Amino acid sequence: MPAAIIDGKAIAAQIRVALGSEVAEFSGQTGVTPHLAAVLVGDDPASAVYVRNKQRACDKAGIKSTLHRLSAETTQAELLELIEQLNNANDVHGILCQLPLPQQINELAILDAISPLKDVDAFHPENVGLIVQGRPRFLPCTPHGVQQLLVESAAEIEGANVVVLGRSEIVGKPMALMLVQKGKAANATVTICHSRTKGLAEITRTADILIAAIGRANFVTGDMIKPGATVIDVGINRVDDKLVGDVDFAAASEVAAAITPVPGGVGPMTIAMLLKNTVAAARIAANA
């Protein structure tokens, strides 16, 4: 039987509706509208699309969004000056600096400069440290979206063998940290695999839950998947004129019990979790 499709687009829409009600109640109580400031440096087409999708999602949830567009020639000092202005703006609750940045700018320096209280991507070292300790202020958007997809698809996470393909700071590492924690939607046994892992297919075939975030089109083939596993495809790659994930969807669908599509799986959930963090940041500011 073909795998059940985990519809991230539909689940994200439900989350946005709930967030819209939460925002309306919060604004009614405080007179404050949660506000996300997005910074886009340069003319990368994919980045422009991502930012536009985030702005549209903000509008649907009643969250204010402001886009700061800077030229590709922007210096690191100029970008840091803008970040400082946004850090000091009382009406801005979340700051998103769209990656990648032009080569003359040190990404870590910019991410470290964003106030931890406005770091709705959860990239700042202070927020990462809180995640490690199991007391997060914000959860990183893509891993949190994946976690919610697992919950909504009724995947058995507690006690499960989870294999995460990829060790990036944005997905792989925080994903493993979140699933290994004590608590709801966690308590899993997690293995991280990467480009230097030996016997990769043998390891992935042990996974009750396989999360692919390796950045290589159709890398995960059907014979790398345990029959009946849940497969979450974080990858988004362009092959000719088509978007595909890190998983060979057709082959994997014949083996897995449930799988996310690309597009329409993890992507919409990443944006939904960004909105959730922005609302949380507004609450933090209101209680300060």
Q: What is the pLDDT of residues 132-160, one digit of tens each?
A: 999 999 999 999 999 999 999 999 999 99
Q: Half-sphere exposure (CA, 13 Å, Cβ side) for 61?
A: 33
Buried b (16+ CB within 10 A) or exposed e, 170-196: bbbbbbbbbbebeeebbebebbbbeee
Instruction: Quote the CATH superfamily of domain 141-266.
Output: NAD(P)-binding Rossmann-like Domain (3.40.50.720)
Q: Any idea what the Cα angle at residue 265 is, between residues 125 and 141, rounded to 5°?
A: 15
| Catalytic residue, candidates 54, 64, 226, 276 | 54
54 is a catalytic site residue? yes
pLDDT band at 64 (very low <50, low <70, confident <90, very high): very high
Where do the CATH 3.40.50.720 domains begin and end in the chain? 141-266
Where do the CATH 3.40.50.10860 domains begin and end in the chain? 31-116
**pLDDT one-digit tens code per residue, 25-47:** 999 999 999 999 999 999 888 88
Q: How far apart are CA 245 and CA 238, in angstroms?
A: 9
Mean pLDDT of 177-195: 96
121 is a catalytic site residue? yes
Question: CB neighbours (10 Å) of residue 166?
Answer: 23
| Catalytic residue, candidates 119, 121, 208, 233 | 121
pLDDT reported for residue 49: 86
| Catalytic residue, candidates 64, 98, 181, 208 | 98
Amino acid at residue number 240: D
pTM, 2 dp: 0.96
**pLDDT one-digit tens code per residue, 86-131:** 999 999 999 999 999 999 999 999 999 999 999 999 999 999 999 9
Which residue(s) pair with 64 in the sheet?
A: 35
Q: How far apart are CA 283 and CA 279, in angstroms?
A: 6
Q: How far apart are CA 82 and CA 69, in angstroms?
A: 11
55 is a catalytic site residue? no
Q: How far apart are CA 264 and CA 17, in angstroms?
A: 18
Class of domain 31-116: alpha beta
